[in-house]
Structures are given as C-alpha cells and as structure tokens.
Copies of this chain bind each other. A is one copy, B any other.
Amino acid sequence: MKILVLGGNLIHEGANEAFAQFEERTEDQVIFANESLTDEELSQVDIVLGNKAEMVERILSLPHSRLKWIQAFSAGVDYYPLAKFAHQGILLSNASGIHAEPIAETVFGIMLSQMRGIKEAVLNQADSKWDPSAGKFTLLSGKKMVVFGTGHIGSRIGELGQAFKMETIGINHSGHAAAGFNSTLPISEAADPAIVQADVIVNALPLTKETKGFYDQKFFAKLKRSPLFVNIGRGPSVVTADLISALENGQVGEAGLDVADPEPLPADSPLWQMPNVLITPHVSGSYSNYVEGVLEIFEENLRQYHQDGTLVRNEVDLQKGY
C-alpha cells in the first residue's frame, strides 16, 4: 500500500532517522508530501500519516481516491472534517496516549514556574538582575487541583499532583472514578464546592460541541479562590475575552496557556503582557522522540489493517470526535 506522510511542526529533527528505520521495517511504500505530487499520484494513496486537513480534503475530492485511513499525529482531531470522513467511510486514528507524559510534565513546569518565582527569575536573568523578592513563592503541596478530563492526559496530571501532595479532583462526563484522582465529579456539577474552591484548574478536555466556550464568564464568576487556570486542551474551549476579564478582576489569579484562540495568539492580544499569564506556544505535547511514539501506534494499526482493514489502537469515534 501507499502511505503518504504529511509533515508539520510536530516533526522535529531526528524524525528522518525514525522514518528511515520505519521504511526498513515495512514493505509498504512511503511517500513524503511535497508540492509536486500530481492528482494521479495522490489518488493512489491508501493511507495518510499526518495532520494536514487541506491535503486530506484535496485527496478525498479526487474521483478515484483510494484513501481509506488517516493516522493523525495529534490526540485532538477537531481540525479534520469528521462528518465527511464518516460519510465516505474513512477510518481515523489519533495519537492519544503518547502525549500524556510530555503534556503532564509541561503542566507541572508551567505551574511551578508561576508558583516558585521561576518566570520572574527568567525575566530578571535577561537583565542580569538578582532579585529574591520577585515572585509569589507558594507551593503545590496542600493545594486543591481540579482537572477537567480524566483520560490518559488528565490521569497522569492527577497522578503527578498526588506525588506533589495535592488533593486531586477529576471531572468527566459521568463522574466515573479514574486513576490519579482522590475523587471525581460529573461535568454537570461544575458549581460543586469541590470545583469552585479549587486552587488550580486544568483543562484537559477535547474540543467538542459541548466543550466549545465552556470556560466563560459564568464559569469564572463561580470561582472562590482566584485559582491558577491552566489550559493544555484546546483554545476554543475558553472564551478568551472572558478569561482576560477574569484575570483582570481577580476571579482567576493566574493563567498558564499552552493553547489559545486563535492560534498563533495575535501579537496584540493583551494576554501576552499580563504579568500573571504564562504562554507556551502549543508545545506541551512536543518531545524529541515524538515521531517514534506515533510510529509505534501506526505500525500496530498497520499490521491489523493489512489483515482485515480494521484498526486496533486509538480509532476515533467520528460522532463523538475523540
């Protein structure tokens, strides 16, 4: 079969080596996307490995497209036309799971940077300035952390929170128990005292119809303790203007934003220069061996796909969107 690899900024240096080894292991033909590929060449693609919606739409619009399966490089797949995939019988698998460790590490990096004076120290270092008074110097230990989303990523954040002696509360659809959490609640109880008394709130929800704009003025107004709000899910789950107001009026104490709406965050967004905000440019899931991690999932799926056209890992439910 013909596998088309679509690049993207998730592919770091070192990926060439990973793909070279992959090509040695497989008998399928691997093609790397470039601008000179013709429609005829693209119609012969059976599988896409990557994240570029435009290229996938172009292939699917070809009259004789053979494309039947897309393995995404990402966990969230909201950028793909899921309804069209469902209609055309296209399988979609994501890279869920391999992000848990890097994202959880970044979440704690962001939180500790804001609570242990590290953001301030980095800025002072740029001016060669030694100032022990810059920073808040609070602790994770003893704090209450509420994590929205209790999948691979949320659970790992909860586990590390427990290691830092935090009380961890997980929020999911039904309120079912999940690893890493002292307790869990259904998302319908977002006004529960356990949530509104949070010291730290982490959004790890996928972007769906239900979660779009979930963190809005009404949500922020309920919060009692000026929590640190960390978003490593998706930017549009937050109403940006409402978050800015909440940061200004103290309903939210600090924010750590790895995702934004829109992305890239425009240079004139007030978020950039707010002293209580730390922005990372959608890199929480990045790590230097990322491609190896995706290829591991892809190859397991590929073996099964060769046998019976089905997938064994990380198939996306095209109705639910994750």
A91 CB contacts on chain B under 8 angstroms: none
In the complex, given contacts A118-B118, A118-B278, what are 18 additional A-B residue pairs having Cβ atoms less than 8 angstroms apart?
A: A101-B141, A101-B165, A102-B137, A105-B116, A106-B117, A112-B113, A116-B283, A119-B122, A122-B122, A122-B123, A125-B277, A125-B278, A125-B279, A130-B279, A132-B282, A137-B290, A139-B287, A163-B163
Kindly provide the distance from the CB of A253 to the nearest chain B CB, expressed in whole angstroms.
13
User: Which A residues form the contact surface with B (CB < 8 A)?
Assistant: 9, 12, 101-102, 105-106, 108-110, 112-113, 115-119, 121-126, 128-141, 159-160, 163-165, 263-265, 267-269, 272-273, 277-284, 286-288, 290
Tell me the nearest residue of chain B to A277, going by C-beta.
B125
Measured between beta carbons, the chain B residues less than 8 angstroms from A122 are: 113, 119, 122-123, 278
- The answer to whether A102 and B125 touch (CB under 8 A), given A132-B282, A281-B131, A287-B139, is no
Question: Residue of B at shortest CB range from A256?
Answer: B118
A-B contact pairs, 25 of them (CB 8 A): A9-B132, A101-B139, A102-B116, A102-B139, A105-B115, A105-B140, A106-B116, A108-B108, A109-B109, A113-B118, A113-B122, A117-B283, A117-B286, A125-B272, A125-B278, A128-B269, A130-B264, A130-B279, A132-B282, A132-B283, A136-B288, A137-B283, A137-B288, A138-B287, A160-B164
CA distance A129 to B265 in the complex (A): 9
A118 touches B109 (CB 8 A): yes
Nearest CB in chain B to that of A267: its residue: B128
Q: How far is the CB of A181 from chain B (nearest CB, A)?
A: 15
Whether the Cβ atoms of B105 and A164 lie closer than 8 Å is: yes
CA distance A142 to B279 in the complex (A): 27
- Tell me which residues across on chain B come within 8 A of A136, comparing CB atoms: 288
Copies in the complex: 2
Interface centre among A109, A123, A129 (most CB of B within 10 A): A109
Q: From residue A296, how far is it (CB to closest CB) to chain B in Å?
A: 15
User: Which residue among A112, A124, A133, A267 has the maximum number of chain B CB atoms within 10 Å of its CB?
Assistant: A112
When distances are taken between beta carbons in the complex, the residues of chain B under 8 Å from A12 are 137
- Closest residue of B by beta carbon distance from A139: B287
Tell me, rounded to whole Å, the shortest Cβ–Cβ distance linking A231 to chain B.
14
Query: In the complex, are the beta carbons of A112 and B108 less than 8 A apart?
Result: yes
A135 / chain B contacts, CB cutoff of 8 Å:
283, 286
